[in-house]
Amino acid sequence: MKLFSTPPLSLYAPDSAPAPSAPRVVPVTRLAQGGRWRVEAMRALTEPCLLWFTRGQGRITLGGLTRGYGAHNAIFIPAGVMHGFEVGSQTQGAAVFFGHESDSALPRSAQHLRIRDSGPQVELSGLIDSVAREIDSPKPGAARAAQMYLGLIGVWLERQAVLVPNEAQPSDAARRLVSRYAELLERDFRQGFGVADFAAALGVTATHLTRVCRQTCARSAHDLLQDRRLYEARRLLADTAAPVKDISDGLGFTSPAYFTRAFHARTGKTPSEFRKAG
């Protein structure tokens, strides 16, 4: 069976056309409202996002690579890049969503920048505050002004990428392999493929793929795959009225019974129980 006969990895796009979305600024802690799984489980967005952590620490998995984050870390996540991160009781910061039709010049790859100088810290916080203020403003031209400030955030990222080492870039063969796996997984996690299928498409064995996943993010290849599928299942159960069977079929599970067992193993609840609790 031939898999993934598609354009190069760098050209991958999200699976479906996104609904219209305007730029917005959201406190990081609010992202976890409705369940910590909304930020911790593997998923991807259909628009670019910048996470600006100003307090607290935790771990973030970005494109299959896990690292710690702390105060004054700026993490840029392009559309379609799989990620998940911890939000602790001390975590503070902002998430900037650029919208689906942003005309800002933004990095093409993920960026994880540790900003140690106070000048750039203050500059980015000020730009984010300006975006939020213009988004909420009733004044004429506010939407255009918000886009201009978003463009300045793009300039800030471009400048800091030159000055600060980007920790999100794979630095060896193992990390490059896992990054490619994460891209394939994000595109095809609904197709019912197993780890062996993904490994074959990448030209390695399933055992080797699992080994390097454990090296780069302390998780198995199967766990990353299942986490991504079951994040989508929880999102659909929480945010839509789609029947459980349709969700199971749409995510490539072989049967609703297997889907229910896998979902219960991950969440401690059956899909129906999870939906009722929400």
Residues forming beta bridges with residue 61, ordered by sequence position: 66, 84
> Lowest mean pLDDT: which of 2-6, 47-51, 59-63, 208-212?
2-6
Q: How far is CA 9 from CA 62, 81, 170, 252, in A?
A: 16, 11, 15, 22
- Nearest partner of 266 among 236, 224, 238, judged by Cα: 224
User: What pLDDT score does 6 carry?
Assistant: 35
Tens digits of per-residue pLDDT, 137-159?
999 999 999 999 999 999 999 99
Give the mean pLDDT of 74-94: 96
Q: Is 210 helix (H, G, I), strand (E, B) or coil?
A: helix
Q: Please state the pTM of the whole predicted model.
A: 0.87
User: What pLDDT score does 160 carry?
Assistant: 96
Residues whose CB falls within 8 Å of the CB of residue 44, separated by 6 or more in sequence, listed in order: 14, 79, 80, 81, 82, 83, 186
Domain ranges of the chain: 9-163, 174-277
73 CB neighbour count, 10 Å cutoff? 22
Helix axes 195-202, 173-188, angle to 10 degrees: 120
User: What pLDDT score does 171 carry?
Assistant: 66
Give the mean pLDDT of 221-230: 97
Tens digits of per-residue pLDDT, 216-225?
999 999 999 9
Give the mean pLDDT of 8-18: 34
Query: Scanning the structure block, which residue is given the tokens 């789609």?
Result: 242
Q: CB-hemisphere CA count at 13 Å for 126?
A: 8
> Lowest mean pLDDT: which of 10-24, 85-99, 174-188?
10-24
CA 105 to centroid of chain Cα atoms: 20
Contact by Cβ (8 Å): 124, 72:
no
Whether the per-residue pLDDT at 9 is higher than 50: the answer is no
Tens digits of per-residue pLDDT, 15-63?
444 455 899 999 999 999 889 999 999 999 999 999 999 999 999 999 9
Q: How far is CA 15 from CA 45, 81, 121, 268, in A?
A: 11, 12, 35, 29
Tell me the average pLDDT of the chain: 91
Per the CATH hierarchy, to which homologous superfamily does domain 9-163 belong? Regulatory protein AraC (2.60.120.280)
Q: CB-hemisphere CA count at 13 Å for 30?
A: 8
User: What pLDDT score does 104 carry?
Assistant: 77
User: What pLDDT score does 224 carry?
Assistant: 97
Share of the chain above pLDDT 70, in %: 92
Question: Rounded to whole angstroms, how far apart are CA atoms 218 and 101?
Answer: 35
Tens digits of per-residue pLDDT, 97-127?
999 877 779 999 999 999 999 999 999 999 9
Contact by Cβ (8 Å): 123, 176:
no
Domain 174-277, CATH 3.40.640.10 — does that match? no
Question: Rounded to whole angstroms, how far apart are CA atoms 94 and 81?
Answer: 19
- Nearest partner of 96 among 142, 165, 139, 154, judged by Cα: 154
Give the mean pLDDT of 67-86: 97
